[in-house]
Amino acid sequence: MSRPATPAWFDVGLDSGVRAALLRAGGLAVLALLAGAWLGMAPPVVLCPLLRFTGVPCPLCGGTTAFAALGAGSAGRALAANPVVVCGAVALACAPLPRARALGRRVARQLGGRALGWLVVGVLIASELWQLHRFGLLASS
Mean pLDDT across the stretch 22-27? 84
Q: How far is it, in rounded angstroms, from Cα 62 to Cα 70? A: 12
CA separation for the pair 10, 30 (Å, rounded)? 19
Q: How far apart are CA 83 and CA 77, in angstroms?
A: 10
Report DSSP state, residue 13: S
Tens-digit pLDDT profile for residues 34-75: 877 777 656 566 778 888 899 899 998 888 888 888 888 888
* Cβ(132)–Cβ(62) below 8 Å: no
| pTM attached to this predicted model | 0.68
Would the pLDDT of 23 be above 80?
yes
pLDDT at residue 11, rounded to an integer? 57
Closest alpha carbon to 100 in 27, 32, 20: 20
Distance CA 65, CA 80 (A): 10
Q: Measured between alpha carbons, how far is 115 from 18 in angstroms, rounded to an integer? A: 30
Share of the chain above pLDDT 90, in %: 16
